Amino acid sequence: MNTHFSAFERTLHLERYPAKHQHVSLQAWDSADEYIIQHIEDCNLISTSSEKSSNKDTPLIILNDEFGALSCWFHSAKPVFISDSWISHKSLMTNMLINDLNPESITFCDALTNLATLMPAAPKLVLLKIPRSLALLEYQLINLSKVINEDTKVVAAGKVKSVQNSVLKLFEKHIGKTTTSLAKKKSRLIFSQFETKEPHVSPYPSIVEDPLIPFALHNHANVFCRDHLDIGARILLKNLPNAEGARVIDLGCGNGVLGVSILDKYKDAHVTFVDESFMAIESAKQTLLAHLGSLDRASFFVSNCLEEVLKEEPRDYSLVLCNPPFHQQNAVTDHVATQMFSDSKSALKQGGELRIVGNRHLDYHQKLKKLFGGYQVIDSNKKFSVLSTYKAR
């Protein structure tokens, strides 16, 4: 993996968290990061030298900085870092430490943070990486429009394929006049000039109902399958095991559809909801609270796979349910599923079950066989299989 990011005679060592699980071809920054850094430096929009203190009162907001490249680069401007991803938070923290930078110069915020209470004065500069989810972008632009003013420079960056008309329209609608740069190394910049108008009301969280489940799903903007029930979740829901008195983990819980189904049916079960998205965890809480009126039989962890859960004893879970993701940020990868399965084995008690759903073309069968020594196909259709395996020892 290339970890040396160099520009303007400075070099940063940048890793994707967790470094040990990453594919060697993946690096912690992309050409959109390079483009945005080059633009800000060329135009001298902020100083990156710690000696120059004129930036102390120049609030800089950085949104969706995947592995912390931008926040490390511009750390001396004391940025407010906003990301929905726990992995991004961990990556930035790790990269600050690797590069001997003081993490206290960064204000770490999740994507649900109310910017109006965080920054009484308008920020001078906003740097935004275009997220995968248009809904998240919309939510973030609505929030930004409440705290920026005509003097705020808004510079966004993304791969050319992500800078679509729909994206530009959102900037026009919520910020103001919007232009783009030429493409460079398959990335493009977006410049948006704020125009005063009445801020829009965020349509998130939104609510989805489905005849398969007796409750409504509450979805914040960045939640997986925000506007319908996922087809993988659908087949797993039809094949949930008996969970009477069970201690269950809903791993990669999204809006909590699997775990809340367990709590709805088994009145003495306990479910630990885990996701790397802050918005997912908040959505799962809302889904549960709206249906059962209490969070009593539940715990919640924002975590990379089960890392935060495994810090706590006892590791005596009886069941892990999982509909794994097959990408991290913009990269298609199976390393997350692999870590989820191996962490599940560590969290389960002897005889405990891991039940998953996966696209049939992914080789989850092989992974389970290698880790647990075997597996059973519980159900399958043209696209998905539900697989089960037990921890023998």
Ligand X SMILES: C[S@@+](CC[C@H](N)C(=O)[O-])C[C@H]1O[C@@H](n2cnc3c(N)ncnc32)[C@H](O)[C@@H]1O
State the residues that interact with ligand X by CB under 6 A.
87, 224-225, 230, 233, 252-254, 257-258, 274-277, 280, 304-305, 323, 325, 336
Q: Which is nearer to ligand X, 18 or 103 (CB)?
A: 18
Q: Which is nearer to ligand X, 88 or 152 (CB)?
A: 88
CB of residue 123 to ligand X, shortest distance in Å: 28
Burial per residue of 26-39, b for 16 or more beta-carbon CB atoms within 10 angstroms, e otherwise: ebbbbbbbbbbbeb
Nearer to ligand X, 133 or 187 (CB): 133
Residue placing its CB nearer to ligand X in the complex, 183 or 295: 295
Closest CA to 390 of 339, 343, 320: 320
C-alpha 139/C-alpha 205 separation (Å) is 10
Q: How far is the CB of 335 from ligand X (least distance, A)?
A: 9
- In the complex, least distance from residue 256 CB atom to ligand X, rounded to whole angstroms: 8
The answer for 225, left when phi > 0, alpha when psi is -120 to 50, beta otherwise, is left
| CA atoms of 368 and 359, how far apart (whole Å) | 14
Q: Which is nearer to ligand X, 59 or 205 (CB)?
A: 205
Minimum gap (Å) between residue 233 Cβ and ligand X: 3
Complete DSSP assignment for 329-350: TTEE-SHHHHHHHHHHHHHEEE
**CB closer to ligand X out of 106 and 340:** 340
CB closer to ligand X, 193 vs 333 = 333
Q: How far is the CB of 297 from ligand X (least distance, A)?
A: 18
The whole-angstrom separation of Cα 317 and Cα 303 is: 17
Q: How far is the CB of 321 from ligand X (least distance, A)?
A: 8
CA distance linking residue 251 with residue 348, whole number of Å: 12
With b meaning 16 or more CB within 10 Å and e meaning fewer, what string describes 103-114?
eeebeebbbbee
CA 379 to each of CA 193, 233, 234, 355, 384: distance values in angstroms, whole numbers, following the listed order: 53, 13, 12, 11, 8
What distances in angstroms separate CA 359 from CA 212, 237, 340, 356, 389, one per listed residue?
20, 15, 16, 10, 17
**Closest separation between CB of residue 126 and ligand X, Å?**
25
